[in-house]
Amino acid sequence: MRKPIIAGNWKMYKTMDEAVAFVEALAGKLKESDKAETVICPPAPYLATLVEKSEGLPIRIGAQTMHEEAEGAFTGEISPAMLKSIGVEFVVIGHSERRQYFNETDESVNRKVKSAFEHQLTPIVCVGETLEQRESNATSAIVSEQVKKAFAGVSETDAASAIVAYEPVWAIGTGRTATAEDANEVCGQIRAVLTELYSDSVAQAIRIQYGGSVKPGNIEELLSMSDIDGALVGGASLDPESFAALAEAGANA
């Protein structure tokens, strides 16, 4: 059985005080459970503080992005070594907003995935199609290609511990969401590609999240699907009450 993982991507929201207050509020709502993992991915300036504030709580901390190099003259960037040194455990790689606004490519995603593993960070690898690609029936081809390129040269051992997040670009922050059946179909296709790249046992070990306007009202149906192992959540992760409801659904899946 794959352990469900609910991860909140805060994007560029919250002040430091609001971030700390969120963790304190969430701590009182989350139940200790070994049936699911709960991850918060706050803005970079808050990472070290939230690692400290979440110590002893069923909350783990992830970064929203990172540079592929361990160090160097890359003004404004954050390295995997830096993340590891402050206790960060996860890192989101290749989110559609990073691809759209910051020119990330399938090739740079691949380099970052490899670097994350080299620094003992668990990558949450994002893939997904645009509305135009979906309407032209290219979803399977686009997502399959993104998965193949993201995992190129990644060993079976590393791949088995990776997380893939299927996030249809047209459903992120729009209020639109794929039906649970449609989301599961694409997640199943992702697992089939991973089976082709590695083996059935490795593909069955990799957790695949769905992301795209996930809310307390649709999380249970999504998690009931055969190939959906959690959620990468945007807006609904900004409120401790709604995020706690998502985490509870993960623990009960």
First to last CA, the chain: 11
Cα 2 from Cα 15, distance rounded (Å): 34
C-alpha torsion angle, residues 47, 52, 58, 60 (rounded to 10): 30
CA distances from 110 to 126, 138, 249 (A): 11, 22, 31
CA distances from 20 to 91, 162, 241 (A): 20, 28, 15
Q: Name the phi and psi angles at 34, rounded to 5.
A: -100, 10
Question: Which amino acid, 1?
Answer: M
The residues annotated as belonging to the active site are 95, 167
Q: What string of DSSP letters covers 186-211?
A: HHHHHHHHHHHHS-HHHHHHSEEEE-
Which of these, 242, 244, 160, 246, lies nearest to 203 by C-alpha position?
Answer: 160
Q: What count of residues does the chain have?
A: 253
Cα 100 from Cα 234, distance rounded (Å): 17
CA distances from 70 to 43, 45, 85 (A): 20, 18, 11
